[in-house]
């Protein structure tokens, strides 16, 4: 396995390691009517802390959970006792869903030693492993250095220019029905459909039934089947920048180097009346 993924066996063996920081980065669509923070208090992996994707964002933006400033990110990590020299393990309750967003955020802010728990809490519980309840224990503050890597993030202008010039391909992680515009978008004011020229790589096509990530060869095959050429630059997108990070994790696992994530994703594009939107395959 690459350094970006760890197994439940590996984590169970390293639970008490002083250099490990475990974060529960669970997040759910508003339509799911689930409270990730409340679920964390009911059961989490021993020693884990809750990583609040909505709070750890640019709260001044009208778009959901956009990247925060490096200052805000490093300040929050310092308070959580997550600092330089720590190996961060991110998981979520679904299996492999929002943990990859947290993984990507750490990478964007220059912290390379971060991995996603393969199969997440779902697999951990299925294997009857220990959990604890209640709030996370307070940690001693640690220094966290945030070094912003702008090449990993794209904005709407970048994406529009890439689609127009053909310099990069857009891989849209949403379901086929949302991509084709056959389903109403979960956020009000956002049109149904996709960007002209985008390719649909549903994030679920990269996952096994137990929520673990498929092998690099299978991931490559999923992108190729969707018409994405991994020898050319790729921009990942989704509804609001969460599941796009699953594609980013998959691309990283295949050794693909030239890729970035569109942070505003479909919420920004579909919500902009001036942006071109198409429906159908």
Three-state secondary structure of 32-48: HCCCHHHHHHHCECCCC
Whole-angstrom distance, CA of residue 226 vs CA of residue 223: 5
Catalytic residue among 114, 238, 242, 249: 238
Inter-residue long-range contacts of 28-36, CB under 8 Å, 24+ positions, other chains counted: 28/98, 29/186, 29/239, 30/186, 30/187, 31/186, 36/93
Residue 1 has pLDDT above 70, yes or no: no
What digits encode the pLDDT tens for the residues 128-145? 999 999 999 889 999 999
What digits encode the pLDDT tens for the residues 71-112? 999 999 999 999 999 999 999 999 999 999 999 999 999 999
Q: Which of 210, 131, 118, 224 is nearest to 171 (CA)?
A: 224
- Mean pLDDT of the residues in the chain: 96
Mean pLDDT of 210-237: 97
Please count the CA atoms within 13 angstroms of the CA of 52 that sit on its side-chain side: 13
Give the other-Cβ count within 10 Å of 73's Cβ: 21
- Is 238 assigned a catalytic role? yes
Q: Which two tokens stand for residue 196?
A: 């002209």
Q: What is the DSSP letter of 30?
A: G
Q: Which of 56, 266, 232 is nearest to 144 (CA)?
A: 56
**Which pLDDT score, from 0 to 100, does residue 2 have?**
62
Residue 180 has pLDDT above 90, yes or no: yes
Whole-angstrom distance, CA of residue 232 vs CA of residue 50: 36
Mean pLDDT of 133-161: 95
Report the interhelical angle of 244-253 vs 216-225 (nearest 10°): 120
């Amino acid at each position: 396995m690459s350094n970006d993924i760890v197994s439940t066996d590996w984590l169970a063996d390293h639970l008490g390691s002083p250099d490990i920081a475990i974060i529960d980065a669970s997040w759910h669509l508003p339509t799911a009517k689930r409270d990730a923070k409340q679920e964390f208090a009911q059961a989490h992996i021993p020693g884990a802390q809750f990583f609040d994707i909505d709070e750890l964002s640019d709260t001044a933006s009208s778009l959901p959970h956009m990247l925060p400033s490096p200052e805000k990110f490093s300040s929050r990590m310092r308070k959580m006792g997550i600092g330089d020299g720590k190996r961060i393990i991110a998981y979520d309750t679904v299996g492999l869903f929002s943990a990859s967003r947290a993984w990507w955020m750490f990478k964007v802010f220059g912290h390379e030693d971060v991995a996603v728990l393969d199969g997440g809490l779902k697999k951990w519980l299925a294997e009857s492993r220990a959990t604890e309840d209640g709030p996370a224990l307070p940690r001693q503050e640690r220094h966290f250095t945030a070094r912003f890597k702008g090449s990993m993030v794209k904005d709407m202008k970048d994406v529009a220019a890439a689609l127009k010039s053909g310099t990069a391909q857009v891989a849209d992680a949403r379901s086929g029905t949302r991509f084709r515009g056959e389903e109403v978008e979960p956020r009000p004011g956002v049109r149904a459909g996709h960007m002209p020229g985008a390719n649909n790589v549903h994030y679920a096509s990269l996952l096994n039934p137990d929520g673990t990530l498929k092998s690099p060869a299978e991931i490559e095959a999923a992108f190729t089947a969707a018409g994405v050429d991994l020898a050319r630059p790729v921009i990942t997108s989704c509804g609001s920048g969460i599941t796009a990070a699953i594609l980013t994790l998959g691309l990283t696992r295949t050794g693909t180097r030239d890729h970035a994530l569109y942070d505003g994703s479909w919420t920004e594009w579909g919500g902009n009346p001036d942006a071109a939107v198409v429906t159908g395959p």
